[in-house]
Chains A and B, each alone.
Chain A
Amino acid sequence: MVLTELKPGEKGIITHFNNQQLELQLTNMGCPTGSTIELYRKASMGGLISIRTEDGNLLAIRKSEAMHLNIEKND
């Protein structure tokens, strides 16, 4: 599944980025493949999606790019 399918509060492990530029930027911000992320909040009308990284940082990315982030949901 992709990041956008998570509900706020749900966590998942990043399995694959379909966008290399996004992968590089998120990795540099401490959020690489294999790390756990939590969906923090979604903005209305398909706006930004914020996530909490493993280290507790809050990042926001655009929905169109969040679709390129494959995750495996944690239960």
Chain B
Amino acid sequence: MISSPSDIKLQKIALLGNPNAGKSSLFNTLTGLHQHTGNYPGVTTDINVGKWKTGQGETLELSDLPGIYSLFAKSEDERVVLDVILDKNNSYRPDLIIVVLDAINLKRSLMLMEQINRFDLPIIAVMNMTDIAESRGIKIDYTQLQKLTGVKTIPINARTGKGRKELEEQVNQKFSKKEKPQLLLEESWQKELSSRIKLENALHARILISQYEHLSFLGEEDKAFLKSLQKKYNLDTLQLQTEDSKKCLNRQSLLIKECVKTEKPKVSRTERTDKVLMHPVAGFIIFFALLLLVFQAIFNLASYPMEWIDQGFGMLTTWLSANLPESMLTDLFTEGIIAGIGGIVIFVPQIVILFALLTILEESGYMSRVMFLTDKTMSRFGLNGKSIVPLISGAACAIPAIMATRSISNWKERLTTIMVTPLISCSARLPVYIIFISLVVPSISVWGIFSLQSLVLTSLYAGGFIAALLSAIVFNKLLKKEPGSKSVFVMELPSYKLPQWRTVFINIYKKTGAFVFEAGKIIIAISIILWVLASYGPPGAMQTAEKEAIEIFESGTITETGLDEIIASKQLEASYMGHIGHFIEPVIKPLGYDWKIGIALLASFAAREVFVSTMATIYSVGQADGAEETLLEKLKTEKNPETGELVFSTAVSFSLLIFYLFAMQCMATLAIVQRETKSWKWPMIQLIYMTLLAYFGAFVTFQLLS
């Protein structure tokens, strides 16, 4: 890669507009895959930043600011925009703002533009959704509009990229600072404020007085001053903001009358579709049918590529160990690193399918109908209609699911969703479920139609979902409301539209990438640590173990297993990992587990699916084809050397199933929770409560069944 000289500074441009105005569509169209997620300091909001290569050969830095309706922000997300506009020292402060106007929502789009236009940042506007507006008989006179607003406005189509050339030509012109109108402050509190803080206009004063508590760039003294001012003049800040917005809306109504003509609107397709999709009965039936389809796709469609990946990595490992010189380093590479990467890549097909389907459902406008239907039920559990997407995603993998909680604007409901999502049985639990179900649940059918094994599997998934809802109630009781968040739940139901394929593709690419790299680095790191713990032991112990293994092999007491497998098994017992397994045995004994299971539990802390392969090693099963069947046979006949009883009795197997149902055996999820909540407190609480749940759940199960 060629590093660019540091003196070249990209021109910074920011996109700003109402939610659903097509801001992100435009962002994706302009930047393509040249985008990354910028981390906004101090808040959980991420800002997408991308490189915009114009036809004139310039590269501009484009950022996609959170969608807002008004500068009177109501959430942490929206206040990011205030920081960018009001704080002159903000690192995200752009050189130019592009306001994305929505042609079918002109009034409130123009209201936001008027607010921004009162500040000194240069702005231009793009008019999006012009095709829909045309079909609805809305005709806009752009010359007149520009004359009235004073802002250059370019009609575009964010989805097709129409109008891009005109926009790039506009952007390339140099923008001079706006001429400042004379500062007119009518009210005495505003005058008093301007004696301390340099005000740009009366709106500036109203924003400061009503939002000061949450503005990061104000110093404590300024905040104290604003507080005293608010008290002194007995200002009702909610009233003040509403009044300002109302007046602003009225001005836009008058403006629109002069430049927009609307013919009689027809009954829209959206309304007809909503009659079915938002129907209290039909709507739910369709939702559950779609949900079933999504799960079918995740589990069945993904199983083929998953098998190829599994085999591919198996072949790679075999080839590497055959062709690389035999050394500890080769072992680390094949058994630690390659196995770790394989454990991540195997989930990619499921994640790709899940996000393809979810993005289509969201982009089409359908997901907000689902939220409309489910909000009541979810709010009983302290969640919110918007929690449905993370909870569904959790069935594939908790990591993208937790990232999907960003759409929940209420912090308490978002945190609750984050805390309970890992209880949904993710696909990494499936191998563990399958092995123990096939071990102890007979493969018979119930009432002639259902297989008992799949019934048990289904109840495990249901159990995870119910546990998530019940935990949500508890968190809802315990968590405090975010200070300053008094926002009420208002959701938009956008009109239906065909998903934009570019957005679907970019979304899959970003989500999958985040999963592979975020989860990947942690899983690989842990895989290496675990490999070291399993490969090394106290001095001499490994050699002794090898000698013992050779003796056992030569004595001929174990016939069906090869020498290598016996050595691997004995060495694992002698390793540090084996010592830890023995060490924790007293703790896990009440759950019915011995030290061997203890080792597998510890090893699967990085990722749950490691449990099965560790069990295979401990029980000295070769990694040849059909390893799972041989492992199953081994587990079935394994006896406790002291009591002579079967180790994997029904009680122990169910105890393990329950343990895995609840346990937070996933470091990568904890890391994502830390990133999303910007604190180690929440992942730690999550780890503790889920481990306790798993421990006591398994304890009760074991004690009841044995």
The residues of A with any CB-CB pair to B shorter than 8 Å are: 19-30, 32-33, 40-41, 43-48, 50, 55-62, 65
Contact = CB atoms under 8 A, between A and B. Distances in A.
Interface string B218-252: 00000000000000000010110110011001000
Contacts of B69: 25, 28-30
A30 B488 contact: no
B493 A60 contact: yes
A61 B490 contact: yes
Nearest to A24: B242
A46 B278 CA distance: 14
Nearest to B268: A56
A59 B488 contact: no
Contacts of A23: 238, 242
Interface stretch (B28-36, B368-376, B605-613, B630-638): B368-376
Given A20-B239, A48-B372, A55 B108 contact: yes
B58 interface: no
Interface residues of B, number: 43
29 contacts: A20-B239, A21-B487, A21-B488, A23-B238, A24-B238, A24-B241, A24-B245, A26-B490, A27-B246, A28-B69, A28-B70, A29-B69, A29-B492, A30-B69, A43-B278, A43-B372, A45-B376, A47-B372, A47-B373, A47-B376, A48-B375, A48-B376, A48-B385, A55-B104, A57-B492, A58-B270, A58-B492, A59-B490, A60-B490
Interface string B95-109: 000000000111110
B582 interface: no
B214 interface: no
B502 interface: no
Given A20-B239, A43-B280, A57-B105, A62 B489 contact: yes
B238 A50 contact: no
Contacts of A48: 372, 375-376, 385, 491
A45 B377 CA distance: 9
A25 B18 CA distance: 13
Given A21-B486, A24-B242, A27-B246, A56 B104 contact: yes
A58 B280 contact: no
A27 B245 contact: yes
Give the dominant DSSP class at B's interface: helix
Contacts, number: 118
Contacts of B493: 40, 50, 58-60
Interface string B377-420: 10100000100000000000000000000000000000000000
Contacts of B373: 43-44, 47
Contacts of B249: 27, 30, 32
Contacts of B104: 55-56
- Chain B CB within 10 Å, residue with most, of A26, A43, A46, A61: A43
Contacts of B265: 56
Nearest to B109: A30
- Chain A CB within 10 Å, residue with most, of B104, B376, B487: B376
A17 to B, nearest CB: 8
Contact of A20 (B242, B274, B375, B494): B242
A56 B495 CA distance: 10
Contact of B107 (A24, A33, A44, A55): A55
The 3 closest A-B pairs by CB, nearest first: A47-B376, A44-B280, A30-B108
B111 interface: yes
- Chain B CB within 10 Å, residue with most, of A29, A30, A46, A65: A30
A28 B372 contact: no
A59 B491 contact: yes
A28 B78 CA distance: 13
